[in-house]
């Protein structure tokens, strides 16, 4: 007999005691329930045995107990602080022991039953916890119900006989650390607390217990077969299909299948003697056949993301609207799949996936990554003492989520090495549910899995796998391939998405991937904007590695998401200049194109001259057609022209309104002609200055000081960028970490030596050498200025000297303007783009402000470049590029950007710093994966590029 202060369970291998067996989770039935979410009393203690236990046994608390919101994490409500580590355990590895310092939160809630609660003598009641991190002990009205581990899994206790009409005292003691922590070493914040719902459920006599909805689809016969197995016998009805049958019996009827693209659900009901449970049935069949993952007979391509649960104030305590926001954002960005990295999500999220249509890899709450520090010695998944806990986790996931059509694959967990415990989980899952496939990345031999899964494999390796040239065990060679994580979206990036997508679309075996990851886990912070690892004084931490999402913490899409949307668009729209046609390809797996309306517009210098609708045949999945474009409008003015073709929703859908653009493409129609500039003006020496057309130069240094009446500061060659997380790279990456190499070489501290200022007949030439101290590498750089009187042309020629072994971060010029706000340009936009993140950049006429050009990465770094800019206007200057350039403008210097650790370190100065880059090095995703592909490297080689400057009225004064 244990006493309330006996805390041995905290450090026990066992998953717990006292809880009911796991069962299906459903949102609501006609049985009564009472949410116990809300304000609870709370007391934080430093150790697992806490202070005293009278709160639990007698429901007593002192007046000084705090209040806390449930669901929530106490460390986000002013008690203690969060800790972020990637894989390092923030405590000594000595399983199953945990530190004596074990923050322990006593939670207390006193509640009355609602007036309409059934008579206590009728039926029973169950107390359900949907998620508590990491270990909880529960008492109701002084009775010890038991304890449990398994943070992101449900636990239920039978409480019927203990309930009173009024004054029920529910006491929950939550320990931050437990043996379970060894199984929950996911890369995320450690956030203790009762972070999901607490509910009291009435269980009428004859209530449903567990049930399993089997709803398969036969794609040859177009029929669905339904059978509901139920612990408590009853009837199953689906009015729309005229189904009314006993549990355990099956029926086959014509149906529309469920898929992520066509999420057809049928409303049904399971009725037992005591309860009516609504069912949402989606008919679909998942199989491994011909070495492929097939749903309803067809190979599917996952355009996926890894989703951790995150909210910048609430942590992992998500409300329904936040979950819906995630699903809507995914659907609107063409995402069709989610891996619930690395634990089963709040159950309501899966309801939304069923409803809106997303393929789900449901992952078990299991990661033991920290054991890698000791070569996986003592890994719990290979130690039989832990196997009951592992099986408990597997069964709690499968039983809870088995009735969701969206769940097509179970995942054993993440980064847990290999071992008999994992095999036991796999065998149990296969035995319980043969209708889904099994995933686990950590076992390269694929002993227990139905697919070969990897993370962050390079393009080259993925291509070889696609070609079947990857070797490995026989079993694996016959399996389909998924990248369960790729394209690490930390900071600026990920680069190379389009190159992966081309591979996925070229080889059947490559069934797509899941970008790492959905959202930055930044914590809203009064001084720092968003906090990341180390900001709470953690002893061990992994900095901003926790901010690697396609969304900023406030769920604003980062440029990476906009790029991903374009790269994975389910309709291909391509064409060659002068063809007069556009090729439309239906890249859906199931849907034809009837939901989309196509339109064209003919744009000259970004201005739409004419537009109309485009009639596209209703292509079946995989089909293409060459569709004729109209003749270019006769009225079109001269200038660079494009056809832009868009595929937009023809009608409102559940996830976006009519006219939402799903896919687009541009076809060049008339090429750019760079306006010529005849060098007719002569340099004119004056008092310490030289003038040339509208340009004024310092006679001694040859430095440009003004163009017309626009003062210009410090115009010169620039090769440095504030290194991105991907430039800095991850320590475990084999690729060279250019961010570090650049810094060691000194590219952030280039010196500019002046060799000559030469005034010629019609040119001013300034010869320099740009090089870092202590190195022999340099760039011989010549600035050649010419003018026709109105325009001022700068031609920059650079020739590398010395032993350059690395690419350059950037190559271009930088200068300061004393005032600039509005920015207009013709070229790529509207958003940020670099060589390998440029698919979503459309040629057009764009405008923004200097402030809006910034992309607010949580750790400041290079950002905000607009690519392929033909001309730009800002600060009273018109700048024409020959060739097109990358444009960046910001109210701080690159050096300030580079030094900042949080957004709040950046304060606007009185100068707008403008970079006009001939080129920049690619982005890649080396913060965890491969760096930029070689074709995106900015090699140090001879280069020449020009800009023509002229003045325009500053829009602010007009
Ligand atoms: C993977 C891991 C993820 C995350 C990612 C890097 O190895 O599975 O949880 O840590 O790397 O952000």
Average pLDDT over residues 52-81: 93
Helix 347-356 / helix 320-332 crossing angle, nearest 10 deg: 40
Distance 109 CA to ligand 1 centre (A): 37
Tell me the pLDDT tens digit for each residue of 800-812. 999 999 999 999 9
Distance of CA 221 to the CA centre of its chain: 39
Q: Give the per-residue pLDDT at 2.
A: 42
Residue 391 phi/psi, 5-degree rounding, is: -65, -35
At the fourth CATH level, which superfamily is domain 296-566?
Glycosidases (3.20.20.80)
- Domain ranges in the chain are 8-203, 296-566, 578-670, 686-754+801-957
Tell me the pLDDT tens digit for each residue of 388-409. 999 999 999 999 999 999 999 9
Tell me the pLDDT tens digit for each residue of 810-868. 999 999 999 899 999 999 999 999 999 999 999 999 999 999 999 999 999 999 999 99
Ligand 1 in reach of 415 Cβ (< 6 A):
yes
Q: Give the per-residue pLDDT at 955.
A: 53
Ligand 1 in reach of 863 Cβ (< 6 A):
no
Angle at 373 between CA 151 and CA 486, to 5 degrees: 70
- Which residue's C-alpha comes closest to atom 10 of ligand 1? 187
User: What are the beta bridge partners of residue 664?
Assistant: 646
Among the atoms of ligand 1, which is closest to the Cα of residue 414?
8
Q: Which fold is adopted by the domain 686-754+801-957?
A: Beta-galactosidase; Chain A, domain 5 (2.70.98)
DSSP string, 111-152: E---TTSPPTTSSEEEEEES-EESEEEEEETTEEEEEEE-TT
Distance 414 CA to ligand 1 centre (A): 9
CATH architecture of the domain formed by 578-670: Sandwich (2.60)
State how far the Cα of 459 lies from the Cα of 463, in Å rounded to an integer. Answer: 6
Distance of CA 440 to the CA centre of its chain: 20
Q: Compute the 3-state secondary structure of the chain and give helix, strand, coil in percent, each to the nearest 5.
A: 15, 40, 45
Ligand 1 in reach of 484 Cβ (< 6 A):
no
**Tokens 């339109």 label which residue?**
599
Q: Give the per-residue pLDDT at 121.
A: 85
Distance 124 CA to ligand 1 centre (A): 43
- Element holding 345 (H helix, E strand): none
Distance 86 CA to ligand 1 centre (A): 8
DSSP string, 474-522: HHHHTS-EEEEEES--SSS----HHHHHHHHTT-TTEEEEEES-SB--P
Ligand 1 in reach of 86 Cβ (< 6 A):
yes
Angle at 317 between CA 211 and CA 523, to 5 degrees: 150
> Which tokens belong to 945?
């590029």
Distance 218 CA to ligand 1 centre (A): 37
Q: Average per-residue pLDDT in the chain?
A: 97
Ligand 1 in reach of 928 Cβ (< 6 A):
yes
- pLDDT exceeds 90 at position 53: no
Average pLDDT over residues 917-944: 98
Ligand 1 in reach of 547 Cβ (< 6 A):
no
Among the atoms of ligand 1, which is closest to the Cα of residue 342?
9
Ligand 1 in reach of 416 Cβ (< 6 A):
no
Average pLDDT over residues 522-532: 97
**For the chain, give me the number of helices (H) and strands (E)?**
12, 58
**Tokens 């293409």 label which residue?**
624
Distance 552 CA to ligand 1 centre (A): 18
Tell me the pLDDT tens digit for each residue of 222-244. 999 999 999 999 999 999 999 99
**Tokens 């309860």 label which residue?**
275
User: What are the beta bridge partners of residue 948?
Assistant: 793, 880
Among 510, 511, 430, which Cα is nearest to 468's? 510
- Contact assessment for residue 849 and residue 890, using Cβ atoms and an 8 Å cutoff: no
**243: which residues sit within 8 A by CB, 6+ positions away?**
226, 236, 237, 251, 253, 268
Ligand 1 in reach of 520 Cβ (< 6 A):
no
| Burial of 623 per CB tally in 10 Å (0-12, 13-18, 19+) | middle
State how far the Cα of 745 lies from the Cα of 736, in Å rounded to an integer. Answer: 14
- Element holding 935 (H helix, E strand): none
**366: which residues sit within 8 A by CB, 6+ positions away?**
183, 184, 342, 343, 381, 390, 393, 412, 413, 414, 416
Mutate to test the pocket of ligand 1, among 306, 494, 516 (most ligand atoms within 8 A of CB): 516
Q: Give the per-residue pLDDT at 957.
A: 41
**288: which residues sit within 8 A by CB, 6+ positions away?**
294, 437, 450, 451, 479, 480
> Which tokens belong to 467?
């070609």
Among the atoms of ligand 1, which is closest to the Cα of residue 488?
12
- pLDDT exceeds 60 at position 747: yes
State how far the Cα of 897 lies from the Cα of 900, in Å rounded to an integer. Answer: 5
Tell me the pLDDT tens digit for each residue of 472-524. 999 999 999 999 999 999 999 999 999 999 999 999 999 999 999 999 999 99
Q: What is the band of 52 on the pLDDT scale with cuts at 50, 70, 90?
A: confident
Ligand 1 in reach of 414 Cβ (< 6 A):
yes
**Tokens 């008919």 label which residue?**
283
Residue 460 phi/psi, 5-degree rounding, is: -65, -45
- Active centre residues (catalytic): 415, 485
- Which residue's C-alpha comes closest to atom 2 of ligand 1? 187
Q: Are strands 792-801 and 778-787 parallel, antiparallel or unpaired?
A: antiparallel
**179: which residues sit within 8 A by CB, 6+ positions away?**
10, 11, 12, 13, 95, 96, 98, 135, 149, 389
- pLDDT exceeds 60 at position 643: yes
Tell me the pLDDT tens digit for each residue of 109-118. 999 999 999 9
Among 340, 168, 352, which Cα is nearest to 263's? 352
Rg (CA), the chain: 31
User: What are the beta bridge partners of residue 216?
Assistant: 225
Tell me the pLDDT tens digit for each residue of 183-237. 999 999 999 999 999 999 999 999 999 999 999 999 999 999 999 999 999 999 9
Going by the DSSP 8-state scheme, the letter that residue 367 receives in this structure is B
- Element holding 461 (H helix, E strand): helix 459-466
Class of domain 8-203: mainly beta
Q: What are the contacts of 905-909 at 24+ separation with CB within 8 A?
A: 905/860, 906/860
Choose between 954 and 567: higher pLDDT: 567
Distance 540 CA to ligand 1 centre (A): 17
Q: For residue 830, is the peptide bond before it cis, meaning its omega torsion is within 30 degrees of 0?
A: yes
**Tokens 């992992």 label which residue?**
316
Angle at 172 between CA 167 and CA 175, to 5 degrees: 165
Going by the DSSP 8-state scheme, the letter that residue 470 receives in this structure is -
Ranges 138-142, 416-420, 510-514, 631-635: which has the least confidence = 631-635
Angle at 340 between CA 336 and CA 344, to 5 degrees: 135
Residues making up the chain, counted from first to last: 958
Q: Give the per-residue pLDDT at 639.
A: 96
Among 408, 467, 464, which Cα is nearest to 288's? 408
């Amino acid at each position: 007999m244990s006493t309330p202060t006996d805390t041995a369970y905290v450090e026990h291998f066992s998953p717990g005691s006292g809880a009911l067996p796991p069962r299906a989770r459903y949102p609501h039935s006609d049985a009564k329930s009472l949410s116990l979410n809300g304000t609870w009393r709370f007391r934080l203690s430093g150790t697992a045995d806490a202070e005293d236990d009278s709160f639990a046994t007698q429901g007593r608390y002192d007046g000084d107990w705090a209040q806390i919101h449930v669901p929530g994490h106490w460390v986000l409500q002013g008690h203690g602080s969060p800790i972020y580590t990637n894989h390092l355990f923030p405590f000594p590895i000595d399983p199953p022991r945990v530190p004596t310092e074990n923050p322990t939160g006593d939670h207390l809630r006193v509640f009355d039953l609602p007036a309409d609660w059934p008579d206590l003598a009728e039926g029973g009641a169950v107390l359900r916890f949907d998620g508590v991190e990491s270990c909880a002990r529960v008492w109701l009205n002084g009775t010890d119900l038991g304890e449990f581990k398994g943070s992101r899994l449900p636990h239920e206790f039978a409480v019927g006989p203990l309930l009173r009409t009024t004054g029920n005292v529910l006491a929950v003691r939550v320990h931050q650390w437990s043996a379970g922590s060894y199984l929950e070493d996911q890369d995320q914040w450690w956030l203790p607390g009762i972070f999901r719902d607490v509910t009291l459920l009435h269980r009428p006599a004859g209530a449903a217990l567990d049930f399993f909805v089997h709803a398969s689809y036969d794609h040859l016969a177009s029929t669905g077969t339904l059978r509901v197995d139920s612990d408590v016998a009853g009837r199953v009805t689906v009015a729309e299909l005229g189904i009314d049958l006993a549990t355990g019996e099956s029926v086959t009827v014509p149906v529309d299948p469920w898929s992520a693209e066509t999420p057809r659900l049928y409303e049904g009901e399971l009725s037992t003697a005591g309860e009516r449970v609504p069912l949402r049935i989606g008919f679909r069949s998942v199989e491994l056949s011909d070495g492929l993952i097939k749903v309803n007979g067809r190979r599917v391509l996952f355009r996926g993301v890894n989703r951790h649960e995150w909210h910048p104030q609430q942590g992992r305590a998500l409300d329904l609207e936040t979950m819906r926001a995630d699903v809507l954002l995914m659907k609107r960005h063409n995402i069709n799949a989610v891996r619930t990295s690395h634990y089963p999500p709040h159950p309501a999220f899966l309801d939304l996936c069923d409803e809106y249509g997303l393929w789900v890899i449901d992952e078990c709450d299991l990661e033991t990554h920290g054991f890698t520090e000791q070569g996986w010695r003592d890994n719990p998944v290979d130690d039989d003492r832990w196997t009951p806990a592992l099986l408990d986790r597997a069964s709690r996931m499968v039983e809870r989520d088995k009735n969701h059509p969206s769940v097509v694959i179970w995942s054993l967990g993440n980064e847990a090495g290999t071992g008999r415990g994992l095999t036991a989980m796999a065998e149990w899952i296969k035995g319980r549910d043969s209708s889904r496939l099994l995933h686990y990345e950590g076992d390269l031999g694929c002993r227990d899995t139905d697919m070969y899964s990897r993370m962050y494999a390079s393009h080259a390796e993925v291509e070889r796998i696609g070609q079947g040239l990857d070797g490995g065990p026989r079993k694996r060679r016959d399996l389909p391939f998924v990248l369960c994580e790729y394209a690490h979206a930390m900071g600026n990036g990920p680069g190379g998405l389009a190159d992966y997508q081309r591979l996925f679309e070229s080889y059947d075996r490559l069934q797509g991937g899941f970008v790492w990851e959905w959202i930055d886990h930044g914590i809203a912070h009064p001084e720092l904007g968003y906090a990341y690892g180390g900001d709470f004084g953690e002893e061990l931490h992994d900095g901003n590695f926790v901010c690697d999402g396609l969304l900023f913490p406030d769920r604003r899409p980062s440029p990476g998401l906009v790029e991903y949307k374009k790269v994975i668009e389910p309709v291909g729209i391509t064409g060659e200049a002068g063809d007069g046609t556009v090729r439309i390809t239906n890249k859906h797996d199931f849907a034809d194109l009837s939901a989309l309306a196509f339109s064209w517009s003919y744009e000259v210098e970004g201005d739409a001259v004419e537009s109309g609708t485009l009639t596209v045949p209703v292509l079946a999945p995989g089909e293409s057609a060459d569709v004729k474009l109209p003749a270019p409008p006769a009225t079109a003015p001269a200038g660079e022209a494009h056809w832009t073709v868009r595929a937009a929703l023809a009608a409102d859908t559940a996830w976006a309104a009519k006219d939402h653009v799903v896919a687009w493409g541009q076809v060049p129609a008339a090429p750019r002609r760079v306006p010529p500039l005849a060098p007719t003006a002569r340099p004119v020496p004056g008092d310490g200055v030289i003038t040339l057309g509208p340009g004024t130069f310092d006679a001694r240094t040859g430095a440009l000081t003004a163009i017309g009446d626009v003062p210009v500061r410090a115009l010169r060659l620039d090769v440095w960028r504030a290194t991105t997380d991907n430039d800095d790279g991850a320590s475990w990456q084999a690729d060279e970490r250019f961010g570090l190499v650049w810094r060691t070489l000194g590219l952030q501290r280039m010196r500019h030596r002046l060799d000559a200022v030469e005034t010629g007949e019609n040119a001013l030439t300034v010869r320099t050498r740009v090089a870092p101290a202590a190195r022999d590498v340099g760039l011989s750089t010549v600035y050649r200025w010419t003018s026709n009187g109105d325009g001022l042309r700068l031609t920059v020629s650079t020739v590398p000297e010395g032993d350059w072994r690395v690419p350059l971060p950037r190559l271009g010029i930088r200068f300061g303007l004393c005032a600039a706000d509005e920015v207009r340009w013709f070229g790529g936009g509207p958003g940020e783009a670099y060589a390998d993140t440029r698919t979503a950049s459309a040629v057009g006429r764009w405008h923004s402000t200097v402030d809006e050009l910034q992309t607010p990465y949580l750790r400041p770094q290079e950002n905000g470049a607009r690519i392929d800019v033909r001309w730009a206007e800002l600060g009273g200057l018109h700048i024409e590029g020959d060739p097109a350039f990358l444009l960046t403008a910001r109210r701080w210097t690159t050096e300030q950007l580079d030094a900042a650790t949080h957004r709040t370190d950046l304060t606007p100065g009185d100068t707008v710093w403008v970079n006009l880059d001939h080129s920049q090095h690619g982005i890649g995703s080396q913060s965890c994966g491969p760096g930029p592909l070689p074709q995106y490297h900015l090699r140090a080689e001879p280069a020449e590029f020009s800009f023509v400057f002229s003045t325009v009225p500053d829009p602010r004064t007009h």
